[in-house]
Chain A
Amino acid sequence: MSQIAWMINLIPDAMLNWIYWLIIAAGVTGVLAGWIGKWIPFYGNYVKILQPVGIILLVLGVWLRGGYDTEMMWRAKVAEAEARVAAAEQKSQETNTVIEQKVVEKTKVIKGKTEYITQYLDREVVKKEEIIKYIEQCPVPKEIIDIHNQAADINKAAEGKK
């Protein structure tokens, strides 16, 4: 049945609408002609054929017209859903842009601040007398450096590299 519906979909909607109305009109004409024909001489022989054909056409026409309305309703719903999805995709893109800008801006500030502190250390801190004296007298023991470096590699243990 769905194959037939699909094939019918290939016919333009406006034309389909007209065809269904023509079937209904033909059915009504057939039923009326069958009913009136009883009183017309020589025409009575056709009544036996016209009336059932008219009824069949009328029922078929009404059924097809109902199907057409249902189809149109579903198409409208699909169009509405497509519009909502398109709007959501647009919103999603806009949100991505906002988030990207936020992350890029944050990263820029963090990098700038890190750079500033490092430069301050090189420019000011190392020139202070007590710091110079401390650096000369107390180099960082190798054990401390090793522990720091091990800590910097903790993630590798989790990755199974160490």
Chain B
Amino acid sequence: MKYIILSLAVFLAACSTAPVTQKFPDVPKALVERCESLRKIEGDKVAITEMLKVVVQNYGMYYECAAKVDGWNDWYLEQKRIYESVK
């Protein structure tokens, strides 16, 4: 029995992992926030200015979301460049 335990210990010693591993890069918190849903116009009789306000807010939300998408693209390209520089 003791020989089996000893031989197992010897065999297990060979199970080593790769000595150098690169950690998957973190993502900035600002990028993982979901884009908000677009606003809707409330009520049946609405003034054109109220409607326009909702349209303006929706445009703003689109550009906020676009900033996040651009951020993701920048993040990917930069992290790829850094990853490839290690090879």
Contact = CB atoms under 8 A, between A and B. Distances in A.
Interface string B1-39: 000000000110110100111110111111100000111
A84 B39 CA distance: 48
B55 to A, nearest CB: 8
Contacts of A22: none
Nearest to A92: B25
Given A140-B48, A155-B37, A114 B57 contact: yes
Given A100-B28, A118-B57, A135-B48, A3 B83 contact: no
Nearest to A104: B30
Contact of B64 (A89, A107, A122, A144): A107
Interface string A1-45: 011001100000000000000000000000000000000000000
A78 B85 contact: no
Interface in A90-133: 91-93, 95-97, 99-100, 102-104, 106-107, 110-111, 113-114, 117-118, 121-122, 125-126, 131
A85 B86 contact: yes
Interface residues of A, number: 48
B75 A145 contact: no
Nearest to B49: A126
A141 to B, nearest CB: 9
Contact of B67 (A92, A103, A125, A142): A103
Interface in B47-67: 47-49, 51-60, 63-64, 67
Interface of B: 10-11, 13-14, 16, 19-23, 25-31, 37-41, 43-49, 51-60, 63-64, 67-68, 70-71, 74-75, 78-79, 82-83, 85-86
